[in-house]
Amino acid sequence: MIDPDAIYEQLTISLERLLVSKIPPDAAPHHQHYQEQWNAAVAHARSMLGARGESLASDLFELRLRVAMHLSPIDAIGYDATNPTPRHTLITDYLRAEFGRSDEGVPRLARDIASVLDRWDASRKRTSETADVLLRRQAGRCAHCGFVFDSWRSSRTDDVMKPYHESPEEFTSPEVDHIEAISGFGTNETRNLQVLCRLCNAGKGDGLGLDVRREAKRAADRIAEIPVADRVRMFYYVLERAERRCAKTGRDSTQCELTMRLVRPRGGFLRTNLQPEALDVAESTDLVKHTRLLHHPETRSSDGA
């Protein structure tokens, strides 16, 4: 059995060796010390890249991917299939030029690296096929808000707190989301994937959360007039903070569809005054009209009415 901690340690050592052994301009490239370091690093990297063991497939794959990307130029990472130069050749050239190595192990290492990147590409293409599998795992619901896909025509979509009505077919469509972003080294392994409705995915956005200044600026506005982007971001945040659980019933989004409501109806549209509530127990969205009437006697009917 492979110990993941040991692999991480090995990986760190390997990468450090590869970086350390990069030849400084004033150093002799044939120096025995560098050669030994390089050979050891290549041996580590190769054993990592060529490792078999499906029980730890996803852990190993992440590690291999990190090594492979570290040792590849950008045109090999984002490889264009119409490129006449094979991927492994680009990597071989890069290893020689950037790491200053010309030994016989380089082309073989480059092929191993290229095959890891090929597999990465293939798994990205599989993402759309994976959506069906994920949806079954999530019992057909959005993993964040619990919306049951394909139900929007029959469910309430006029909720200004969860503004599906602003663009119903778009906002209620399923999207595959990376729980940990690829840019943060998230992978396409299914354990890092979930299906969200478009509205939740838009609310998650770049993951940077809510801007306090924007929140303060809009806090006293009528909810239907707060920009949709701000509302969906607030929606995502409020559910996430409460671990996707209804504040009234304790049910979570695997059991019911969630919306959000003001805790104190006369208070502002603020993260501290909002909570998730199951759609079937939440006050009607007419709430928006009458609570906001307190501030705006001339309140019109909300959008989509």
Residue 24 vs 207, nearer CB to Zn ion: 207
CA–CA gap between residue 126 and residue 176 (Å, rounded):
11
Nearest to 278 by CA among 255, 294, 301, 295: 255
The nearest distance, CB 268 to Zn ion, in angstroms, is: 24
Residue type, 249: T
Nearest to 45 by CA among 23, 28, 69, 75: 69
Helices (H) and strands (E) in the chain, counts: 12, 4
Binding of residue 79 to Zn ion (CB under 5 A): no
Binding residues for Zn ion, how many (CB under 5 A)? 6
Q: In the window 127-146, what residues touch Zn ion (CB under 5 A)? A: 142, 144-145
The nearest distance, CB 142 to Zn ion, in angstroms, is: 3
Binding of residue 162 to Zn ion (CB under 5 A): no
The nearest distance, CB 222 to Zn ion, in angstroms, is: 24
**Of the listed pieces 65-73, 90-98, 147-155, 268-276, which binds Zn ion according to CB under 5 A?**
147-155
CA–CA gap between residue 257 and residue 275 (Å, rounded):
14
Contact 186, 178 (CB under 8 A): yes
Residue 60 vs 200, nearer CB to Zn ion: 200
**Of the listed pieces 117-125, 159-167, 193-201, 264-272, which binds Zn ion according to CB under 5 A?**
193-201
Binding of residue 204 to Zn ion (CB under 5 A): no
- 278 exposure class (CB count in 10 Å sphere: 0-12, 13-18, 19+): buried
**Of the listed pieces 192-200, 274-282, 286-294, 295-303, which binds Zn ion according to CB under 5 A?**
192-200
Residue 142 vs 224, nearer CB to Zn ion: 142
Residue 28 vs 179, nearer CB to Zn ion: 179
Residue 119 vs 156, nearer CB to Zn ion: 156
The nearest distance, CB 172 to Zn ion, in angstroms, is: 8
Residue 261, phi then psi, degrees to nearest 5: -140, 160
CA–CA gap between residue 3 and residue 223 (Å, rounded):
53
The nearest distance, CB 286 to Zn ion, in angstroms, is: 22
Binding of residue 147 to Zn ion (CB under 5 A): yes
Q: Which listed residue (7, 197, 238, 274) binds Zn ion by CB under 5 A?
A: 197
The nearest distance, CB 257 to Zn ion, in angstroms, is: 8
The nearest distance, CB 253 to Zn ion, in angstroms, is: 8
CA–CA gap between residue 37 and residue 20 (Å, rounded):
9
Residue 85 vs 155, nearer CB to Zn ion: 155
CA–CA gap between residue 258 and residue 159 (Å, rounded):
11
Residue 125, C-beta contacts closer than 8 angstroms, at least 6 positions apart: none
Binding of residue 200 to Zn ion (CB under 5 A): yes
Q: Can you tell me which residue has the tokens 């394909």? A: 150
Instruction: Report DSSP letters for 65-110, one per residue.
Output: HHHHHHTS-HHHHT--TT-SS-HHHHHHHHHHHHH---STHHHHHH
Residue 117 vs 142, nearer CB to Zn ion: 142
Tokens representing residue 68 in the block:
């492979």
The nearest distance, CB 265 to Zn ion, in angstroms, is: 24
> Which residues in this chain contact Zn ion in the complex, by CB under 5 A?
142, 144-145, 147, 197, 200
